[in-house]
Amino acid sequence: MERSKAHLLRAFGQRIRHERRELGLSLQQLADKAHLSRRFLVEIEGGRGNPSLEKIAALALALQKPLRTLCDLPIHPIPSRRVALLGIRGAGKSTVGPLLARQLEVPFQELDQAIEDSAGMTTREIFELEGRGGFLRREAEALEQWLGRHGTGVLALPGSIVSHPEAYDRLLSTCTTIWLQATPDTHWNRVVAQGDTRPMAGNDQAMKHLIDLVEQRREAYERADFVLETSELSPDTCVEQILSFLEEQERFRESGDEVGSPN
């Protein structure tokens, strides 16, 4: 029961943060509209506050959402060792993922590879033959297959997963999500270091496109459970920090600690 409560508080906090950002409200603006303290709203969005039904109703009114929308939450706790790595190319998913999986003693999978294996063709060929719609369908199917087979594991996601709302919501509700964030220069240099010069081939606007892509996806990536800035970190240090976060989350789930309202 305590694990379920911690999971629900975390899911509720994510829902409030998402709805607030959809309306373009700051923390202070929403706190004022809902007659809550900013401090308590921060605790709620962080999954540590346990608001009363009265306060949830106040948030629903402030967010212009039916109460049922805020309370429509996944009721099953997310396995602590089922981890999804997010980020655009060059984020470090393919490097950090196997190291993390080894430490957790769970399997590692790249969803892109699973999609290609299932389709019997490359991602490029899928887009050419089936279009974006075909790829999104295969992406959702591959995610469901992986979730069905793995109660634990580390999954590296294609950068575009956040542009597929249904699949991304499914991911957020079933995995502990980690955004491996980096500066545009770091993304660029890592891809080039891997011997891939396609990003800049004949394209003098490639860096601008990369910067724009990061900004376009930033809000969606920030819905992840943990954001790790990797630009100045070694892969081993990234793994250490992710493990520390996972351990902290597990302690919270087991303790069922509740942060009361300061209002």
Q: Measured in Å, how far apart are the chain's first and last C-alpha atoms?
A: 26
Q: How far apart are CA 7 and CA 73, in angstroms?
A: 10
pLDDT category at 23 given cuts 50, 70, 90 is very high
pLDDT category at 260 given cuts 50, 70, 90 is very low
Q: What is the pLDDT of residues 5-15, one digit of tens each?
A: 666 787 788 88
pLDDT (mean) for 254-261: 43
- At 4 the pLDDT is 54
Global confidence as pTM: 0.69
Question: Mind listing the domains of the chain with CATH numbers?
Answer: 2-74 (1.10.260.40), 82-250 (3.40.50.300)
- At 90 the pLDDT is 82
User: In the predicted model, is pLDDT for residue 151 greater than 70?
Assistant: yes
Give strand pairing partners of 49.
259
User: In the predicted model, is pLDDT for residue 182 greater than 80?
Assistant: yes
Q: Which residue, 92, 233, 243, 257, is CA-closest to 176?
A: 243
Q: How far apart are CA 132 and CA 190, in angstroms?
A: 27
- At 103 the pLDDT is 95
- 117 contacts 144 by C-beta, under 8 angstroms: no
DSSP conformation letters of 76-131? SPPPTTEEEEE-STTSSHHHHHHHHHHHHT--EEEHHHHHHHHHTS-HHHHHHHHH
Q: How far apart are CA 185 and CA 141, in angstroms?
A: 33
Average pLDDT, the chain: 84
Question: Which letter, b or e, does each residue of 228-260 get, where b requires 16 or more Cβ atoms within 10 Å of its Cβ?
Answer: bebeebeeeebbebbeebbeebeebbeeeeeee
- At 2 the pLDDT is 45
Q: How far apart are CA 150 and CA 61, in angstroms?
A: 39
- At 214 the pLDDT is 83
CA 78, 82, 87, 91 dihedral sign is: positive
Q: What is the pLDDT of residues 35-89, one digit of tens each?
A: 999 999 999 988 888 999 999 999 999 999 999 888 877 665 666 789 999 998 8
Q: How far apart are CA 141 and CA 148, in angstroms?
A: 11
User: In the predicted model, is pLDDT for residue 256 greater than 50?
Assistant: no
Name the residue type at position 200. M
Helix (H, G, I), strand (E, B) or coil at 9: helix
